[in-house]
C-alpha cells in the first residue's frame, strides 16, 4: 500500500524529525509502540526495549562509553540523541580493531571478510581507521597475489564473485590518504584479479556471473530448486554494478600511475558492462533494476528490488542521472526502512530475507542524498538510528515485520553497520567526500535537521579538520577555509595542499527548501510460494533428468490469481488451471501470480527435449587408489553406466565421444553439461569448488563449475552449469581440462568425480 509522503513528514515546529507508521524520532528520543530510547548526554544511551522472550541474544538497555575517543572526531550538535549514536559507533569501532590492527567483522564474527571490511572501508573506515583498513585489505590477498573470495555457496569463487569490492575499498583508501606507494601496491593485485576473472565469470551476455553481493545464503534469496551450479550461471544485478564500478576504478588507478592504454581499456569495459546492466536488468515499468537472472538453458529476470545494488548503481553512476532519481522514488521502502530485497520469500525465515541490514540502509540513504530525495534521506537515517538507539548497539540485521532482532543469526558491534552509521553523519550531513586530489564538501541537510553542527578533530592526510555546517538544504551559500572564502560551486574540490596543516571549514547552507520527491512506501509484502512442476506422460526419467512429456502439471497454490507459463524463458500463456499442454519441445516453467500482481519465483525448468548422455572415458567403479585422499576408500554408488572418472589438478583431461545425427540431432546450438560429485566441502561454505575448461573437438568453448555438494557426499550426483556451443551433425569429442585459469580459492584442492556428459539441443 503506497503511503503519501506528506502524511509521514513532520516539521521541526513540533520537534518531530521523522515519523513513519513504525516509529517516531522526536527531539532526543525515539519512540516505537510502548518502547523508547533516549540520550543521557553525549556518551550514554538508555532504552526500554524488550525483545522476543527466549531469543539467544539478550538486549542491552544501556550504552555508555568504554573506550578513549579523544583521537577521533567530536560531533557537536543540538540533538543529544544524534551525538550519542555517533559516539556509540566510534566506541564500537575501537572495539572492532583487533590487536593485529585488523578490523573485526562483528562481536559474533571473528576475522576479516573481504566484502564486509571493503564495504565498511568505503563507508567510513578509510577515513577513521586508514592503517587498519590497509592491513585488513592486504590480509585478503592470497599467495597468488589475487583478491580472496571468502568462503561461500558451493565453495566460494566462481559461485560467489563479489571480491572486486576490494578494489573500491583500496581506491577509497588512496583518496583518503593520497599514498602513492599504496596505489602502486594495490594496482597490480586488482589487475591480476580482474584478469583471473576474465575467462571464468563473464557470460555470453557481457555480464558477470555469480550470486548477489553479500547475500551468500543461497536459500535466503534464490528459489529452493536452484543448485549452487545454477547460481554460478546466474547474473546478479548488484554484483554486476559493483563490478562495473571496479572496472572504472582500475582504469582510474591506471591513469593515475601513467598507464594510459590500460586506463582507456578498463574505462571502455566499464561502460560496456554498464550498458549490459541497463539492457538486462532495468524495468521501466517499475522504475528500478531487477535482482538477478536465473534459470538453466534459458534465463529470466527476477523482478525483485535489491537495495544494495540499486544504491551502488546511483552512487557509482552506473545508472544515468535521470534513472538515479527514478530509482530513488520507485524502490519499495517499508515503515522500518528499505528491505534487503522486496518482496519477501514467504516460506523462508528472517536473515537476508524479510530483513533490514543497517549498513545496506546506509548505502541506500547515501544514494537518496545523491538523488536529492529529502524524505528518503530522513527515513533512511531514521531506519539506522532507530535500532542503534533501541538496542544500544549497531546490530547486524533486523526483522522487517516488527523491527526486532529476532532473525536466524545476529551480532552486536557489527563493523559495516557501525561504519554505515558514521557515514550518515559524515557523508550526508557534513557532505564529506574524498577525491583523489582533495576534499569535496557537499552537505545534504533535511529541513527537520536544520541547525548548526560541528565535526572537529576530523583526520585527513595527517592533518586535523574542524568542519561546521549551518542551516539546511541541498545548496551551499558559502564555504570558508581558515576564514577565507572558497568557491561554493557544486562539485568544487578543496585541494589537499590547502588542508595539509589542518583547517577550519565553515559551510553556510542556502536555507532553501529541497525540491520535493516521492517515496514508494509500502507494506512488507510476501510473494506467493514457488510452483512445483512435472511433465506427465514421460518415459522413465534417467538419472540425468532427460525425458519427454506432453503435459506440464504443477501443484495448486493458495490465493493465487493466475499462472504464467514460460517456454524457453518466454511467456506463452496464462491460466487459472494447474496444467498446460507441453506439446512442443522446450524448457518449461510456471510463475504464480497473486491477485495484486505479485509474482512467485519461476518453477524449476522441466525439459521435454531429447538429448544424449555420454559416459566419460577411463571410468572407475571405486575410489580406492591409495594416493587419493579426498574421499573415503569405499565404493561410490549412484553413477550411470560402468563408472565415473576422477579429476583433480594433476590427473589430466577427461573425455567423452558422442555423435549428433542428421535429422534427429541437426545442426544448431547445444547445451553441454556434466554429471558430477564433489564431497570436498559443505553446500554453504568453504572454498573447494572445482572448475574445468570445456573443449569440444579441441576448441575451448567455456568453463563449468562443479560446486561442493556436502562433506563426504560422494554419492550425491548433480549437474554442472551448461556451456552452449554450435554443432554440426557428426562425431564430436568433449573434454574437461584443468587449466591454470581454473585455479580456485583453495589453491590446493580442486577435485571432483565426473560421471558423464549431457548434450541437449536448445532449439536455436
Reported as a single tens digit per residue, the pLDDT across 591-635 is 999 999 999 999 999 999 877 777 665 433 333 332 334 444 457
CB count within 10 Å of CB 84 equals: 28
What is the residue-averaged pLDDT of the chain? 92
Measured CA to CA, the distance from residue 248 to residue 489 in angstroms comes to 26
For helices 415-423 and 374-390, the axis angle rounded to 10 degrees is 140
Q: Average the pLDDT over each of 62-71, 300-309, 504-513, 611-620 and give the range with the smallest value.
A: 611-620
Mean pLDDT, rounded, for 697-712: 96
Report percent pLDDT > 70 for the chain.
Answer: 93
Measured CA to CA, the distance from residue 375 to residue 359 in angstroms comes to 19
For helices 358-371 and 374-390, the axis angle rounded to 10 degrees is 160
Report percent pLDDT > 90 for the chain.
Answer: 83
For the cut 60, the answer to whether the pLDDT of residue 10 exceeds it is no
Measured CA to CA, the distance from residue 225 to residue 501 in angstroms comes to 60
C-beta of residue 274 within 8 angstroms of C-beta of residue 314: no
Flag whether the pTM goes above 0.75: yes
pLDDT computed for residue 54 by the predictor: 77
| Residue 755, C-alpha cell as written in the block | 560421471
What CATH class has 528-607?
Answer: mainly beta
| Residue 363, C-alpha cell as written in the block | 548505502
- Residue ranges of the domains in the chain? 99-289, 447-509, 528-607, 611-761
158 prior amide bond cis, ω within 30: yes
Signed CA dihedral, 258, 260, 262, 267: sign only = positive
Which one, of 296, 219, 228, lies nearest residue 605 by Cα? 296
In sequence order, what are the residues at sequence separation of 6 or more whose Cβ sits closer than 8 angstroms to the Cβ of residue 5? 375, 516, 518, 519, 521
Considering the domain 99-289 in this protein, what is its CATH number?
A: 1.50.10.10
User: Could you give phi then psi for residue 629, rounded to 5 degrees?
Assistant: -120, 10
Mean pLDDT, rounded, for 18-34: 97
pLDDT computed for residue 664 by the predictor: 61
**Grid coordinates 589430466 are at which residue?**
652
Q: Average the pLDDT over each of 117-126, 439-448, 621-630, 634-643 and give the range with the smallest value.
A: 621-630
C-beta of residue 703 within 8 angstroms of C-beta of residue 739: no
663 pLDDT band (50/70/90 cuts)? low
Q: Average the pLDDT over each of 167-176, 627-636, 680-689, 739-748 and give the range with the smallest value.
A: 627-636
Residue 177 bridge partners (DSSP): none
Q: What does the pLDDT look like over 269-307, one tens digit per residue?
A: 999 999 999 999 999 999 999 999 999 999 999 999 999
Mean pLDDT, rounded, for 482-508: 94
Say which CATH topology domain 611-761 has.
Answer: Jelly Rolls (2.60.120)
pLDDT computed for residue 9 by the predictor: 38
pLDDT computed for residue 348 by the predictor: 95
Burial class from Cβ neighbours inside 10 Å (0-12, 13-18, 19+) for residue 267 reads: middle
pLDDT computed for residue 285 by the predictor: 97
Measured CA to CA, the distance from residue 341 to residue 254 in angstroms comes to 35
Residues 447-509, CATH architecture: Sandwich (2.60)
Residues, the chain? 764
Measured CA to CA, the distance from residue 334 to residue 355 in angstroms comes to 11
Measured CA to CA, the distance from residue 120 to residue 139 in angstroms comes to 15
C-beta of residue 112 within 8 angstroms of C-beta of residue 140: yes
pLDDT computed for residue 634 by the predictor: 54
The alpha carbon of 159 is separated from its chain's Cα centroid by a whole number of angstroms, namely: 13
E strands, 106-259, where? 235-236
| Residue 618, C-alpha cell as written in the block | 577411463
Q: What does the pLDDT look like over 340-357, one tens digit per residue?
A: 999 999 999 999 999 999
The two beta strands, 24-26 and 533-536, are unpaired
For the cut 60, the answer to whether the pLDDT of residue 77 exceeds it is yes
C-beta of residue 422 within 8 angstroms of C-beta of residue 86: yes
Q: What does the pLDDT look like over 89-106, one tens digit per residue?
A: 999 999 999 999 999 999
Amino acid at each position: 500500500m503506497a503511503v503519501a509522503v506528506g502524511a509521514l513528514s513532520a516539521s521541526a515546529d513540533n520537534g518531530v524529525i521523522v515519523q513513519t507508521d513504525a516509529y517516531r524520532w522526536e527531539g532526543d528520543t525515539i519512540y516505537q509502540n510502548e518502547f523508547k530510547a533516549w540520550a543521557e548526554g553525549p556518551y550514554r544511551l538508555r532504552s526500554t526495549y524488550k525483545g522476543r522472550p527466549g531469543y539467544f541474544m539478550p538486549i542491552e538497555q544501556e550504552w555508555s562509553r568504554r573506550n578513549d575517543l579523544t583521537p577521533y572526531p567530536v560531533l557537536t550538535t543540538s540533538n543529544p540523541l544524534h551525538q550519542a549514536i555517533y559516539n556509540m559507533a566510534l566506541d564500537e569501532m575501537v572495539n572492532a580493531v583487533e590487536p593485529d590492527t585488523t578490523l573485526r567483522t562483528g562481536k559474533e564474527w571473528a576475522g576479516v571478510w573481504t566484502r564486509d571490511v571493503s564495504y565498511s572501508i568505503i563507508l567510513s573506515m578509510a577515513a577513521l581507521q586508514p592503517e587498519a583498513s590497509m592491513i585488513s585489505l592486504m590480509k585478503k590477498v592470497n599467495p597468488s597475489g589475487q583478491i580472496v573470495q571468502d568462503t561461500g555457496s558451493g565453495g566460494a569463487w566462481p559461485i560467489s564473485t563479489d571480491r572486486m569490492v576490494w578494489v573500491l575499498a583500496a581506491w577509497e583508501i588512496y583518496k583518503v590518504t593520497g599514498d602513492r606507494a599504496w596505489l602502486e601496491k594495490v594496482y597490480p593485485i586488482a589487475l591480476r584479479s580482474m584478469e583471473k576473472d576474465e575467462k571464468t565469470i563473464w557470460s555470453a551476455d557481457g555480464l558477470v556471473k555469480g550470486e548477489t553481493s553479500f547475500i551468500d545464503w543461497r536459500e535466503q534469496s534464490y528459489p529452493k530448486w536452484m543448485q549452487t551450479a545454477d547460481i554460478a550461471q546466474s547474473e546478479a544485478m548488484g554484483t554486476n554494478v559493483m563490478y562495473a564500478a571496479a572496472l572504472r576504478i582500475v582504469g582510474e588507478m591506471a591513469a593515475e600511475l601513467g598507464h594510459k592504454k590500460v586506463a582507456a581499456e578498463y574505462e571502455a569495459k566499464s561502460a560496456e558492462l554498464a550498458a549490459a546492466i541497463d539492457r538486462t536488468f532495468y524495468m521501466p515499468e517499475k522504475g528500478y533494476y531487477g535482482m538477478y537472472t536465473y534459470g538453466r538453458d534459458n534465463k529470466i529476470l527476477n523482478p525483485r528490488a535489491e537495495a544494495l545494488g540499486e544504491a551502488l548503481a546511483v552512487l557509482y553512476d552506473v545508472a544515468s542521472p535521470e534513472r538515479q532519481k527514478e530509482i530513488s522514488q520507485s524502490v519499495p521502502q517499508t515503515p522500518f526502512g528499505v528491505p534487503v530485497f522486496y518482496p519477501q520469500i514467504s516460506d523462508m525465515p528472517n536473515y537476508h530475507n524479510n530483513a533490514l541490514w543497517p549498513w545496506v540502509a546506509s548505502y541506500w540513504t547515501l544514494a537518496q542524498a545523491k538523488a536529492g530525495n529529502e524524505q528518503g534521506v530522513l527515513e533512511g537515517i531514521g531506519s539506522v538510528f532507530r535500532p542503534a538507539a533501541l538496542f544500544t548497539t549497531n546490530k547486524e540485521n533486523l526483522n522487517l515485520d516488527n523491527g526486532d532482532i529476532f532473525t536466524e543469526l545476529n551480532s552486536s558491534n557489527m563493523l559495516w553497520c557501525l561504519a554505515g552509521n558514521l557515514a550518515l553523519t559524515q557523508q550526508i550531513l557534513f557532505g564529506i567526500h574524498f577525491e583523489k586530489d582533495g576534499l569535496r564538501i557537499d552537505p545534504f541537510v533535511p529541513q527537520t535537521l536544520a541547525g548548526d553542527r560541528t565535526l572537529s578533530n576530523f583526520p585527513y592526510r595527517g592533518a586535523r579538520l574542524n568542519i561546521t555546517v549551518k542551516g539546511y538544504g541541498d545548496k551551499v551559500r558559502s564555504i570558508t577555509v581558515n576564514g577565507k572564502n572558497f568557491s561554493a560551486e557544486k562539485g568544487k574540490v578543496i585541494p589537499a595542499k590547502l588542508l595539509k596543516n589542518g583547517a577550519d571549514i565553515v559551510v553556510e547552507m542556502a536555507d532553501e527548501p529541497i525540491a520535493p520527491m516521492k517515496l514508494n512506501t509500502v507494506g512488507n509484502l510476501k510473494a506467493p510460494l514457488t510452483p512445483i512442476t512435472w511433465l506427465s506422460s514421460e518415459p522413465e526419467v534417467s538419472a540425468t533428468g532427460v525425458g519427454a512429456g506432453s503435459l506440464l502439471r504443477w501443484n495448486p497454490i493458495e490465493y493465487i490469481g493466475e499462472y504464467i507459463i514460460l517456454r524457453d524463458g518466454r511467456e506463452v500463456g496464462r491460466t487459472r488451471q494447474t496444467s498446460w499442454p507441453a506439446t512442443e519441445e522446450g524448457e518449461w516453467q510456471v510463475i504464480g501470480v497473486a491477485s495484486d500482481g505479485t509474482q512467485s519465483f519461476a518453477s524449476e525448468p522441466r525439459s521435454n527435449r531429447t538429448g544424449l548422455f555420454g559416459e566419460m572415458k577411463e571410468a572407475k567403479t571405486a575410489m580406492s587408489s591409495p594416493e587419493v585422499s579426498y574421499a573415503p576408500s569405499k565404493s561410490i554408488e549412484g553413477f550411470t553406466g560402468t563408472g565415473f572418472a576422477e579429476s583433480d589438478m594433476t590427473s589430466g583431461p577427461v573425455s567423452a565421444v558422442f555423435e549428433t545425427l542428421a535429422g534427429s540431432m541437426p545442426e544448431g546450438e547445444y547445451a553441454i553439461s556434466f554429471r558430477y560429485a564433489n564431497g570436498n566441502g559443505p553446500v554453504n561454505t568453504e572454498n573447494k569448488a572445482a572448475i574445468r575448461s570445456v573443449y569440444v573437438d579441441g576448441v575451448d568453448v567455456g568453463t563449468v563449475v562443479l560446486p561442493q555438494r556436502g562433506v563426504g557426499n560422494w554419492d550425491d550426483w548433480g549437474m554442472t552449469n551448461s556451456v552452449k556451443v554450435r554443432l554440426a551433425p557428426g562425431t564430436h569429442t568433449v573434454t574437461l581440462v584443468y587449466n591454470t585459469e581454473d585455479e580456485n580459492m583453495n589453491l590446493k584442492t580442486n577435485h571432483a568425480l565426473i560421471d558423464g556428459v549431457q548434450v541437449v539441443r536448445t532449439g536455436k
